[in-house]
Amino acid sequence: MTTAYDFDFKTIDGAPLPMTTFKDKVVLVVNTASACGLTPQYDGLEKLYTDYKDKGLVVLGVPCNQFMGQEPGTEAEIKSFCETRFGVDFPLTAKEDVKGETAHPFYKWALETLGEPADPAWNFHKLLVGKDGKLIRAFGPRTEPMADEITGAISAAL
């Protein structure tokens, strides 16, 4: 059976980032963008990460330019923006597609596993992966990172 641990990303700095890095942790995978109306969610994502990382949560940002070109920058520009504007300390991947034929294999697997709820309709769509590498749930882009429905699902998974 396939789990999240069967997939690899690259870090925003270009180093290998196998999902096995996060084995036995709960991971919130979020496709992000720097020029979106929802970009202020970076604040909530960072708070979520800070509040729960010692309990075993990882927030993984996946920059994506598929939604109205709202992530046009280079990886270096994206990293700088996230760190300086929002103090982002959680890991970021290299820029990836999250939808359609060109979607990263992790996202194709998520869609096959959870169906339509796992298909990102916009930036800041969230996928929650359990400690066992199985997908638990998807959250839509407008669900704020600190919303009870997300923090509750994370607490239950931890």
Largest CA distance in the chain: 40
Catalytic residue among 35, 36, 114, 146: 36
The predicted structure's pLDDT at residue 93: 98
The predicted structure's pLDDT at residue 1: 86
pLDDT digits (tens, 9 = 90+) for 118-151: 999 999 999 999 999 999 999 999 999 999 999 9
The pTM of this model reads 0.98
What's the CATH code of the domain at 66?
3.40.30.10
Q: Domain range spanning residue 63?
A: 4-157
36 catalytic per annotation? yes
> Residue 17: CB partners within 8 Å, gap ≥ 6?
8, 9, 10, 11, 91, 93
Give the mean pLDDT of 11-29: 98
The CA-atom distances, in angstroms, between 81 and each of 75, 84, 87, 90, 122 are 10, 5, 9, 13, 20
Cα–Cα nearest to 31, from 120, 101, 128: 120
User: Residue 151 in contact with residue 48, Cβ under 8 Å?
Assistant: yes
The predicted structure's pLDDT at residue 157: 98
The predicted structure's pLDDT at residue 12: 98
| 21 confidence band (pLDDT: 50, 70, 90) | very high
The predicted structure's pLDDT at residue 149: 97
- 3-state SS of 46-67 is HHHHHHHHHHCEEEEEEECCCC
How many domains are contained in the chain? 1
The predicted structure's pLDDT at residue 102: 98
Share of the chain above pLDDT 90, in %: 99
| 62 confidence band (pLDDT: 50, 70, 90) | very high
pLDDT digits (tens, 9 = 90+) for 88-114: 999 999 999 999 999 999 999 999 999
